[in-house]
Amino acid sequence: MANKRYGALALIVGTFSVTALAILIAVPFSLGATVFLSEFCGGKVKESLKIVIELLAAIPSIVWGLSASRWSIRSSFRSSMSPWV
Each residue's pLDDT tens digit, 57-67: 898 888 988 88
Distance of CA 15 to the CA centre of its chain: 15
Is 70 exceeded by the pLDDT of residue 36?
yes
Task: Please state the pTM of the whole predicted model.
Answer: 0.56
Q: Is the pLDDT of residue 1 over 70?
A: no
Listed range (6-10, 21-25, 35-39, 81-85) with the worst mean pLDDT: 81-85
Q: How confident is the model at residue 12 (pLDDT cuts 50, 70, 90)?
A: very high
CA distance 12 to 27: 22
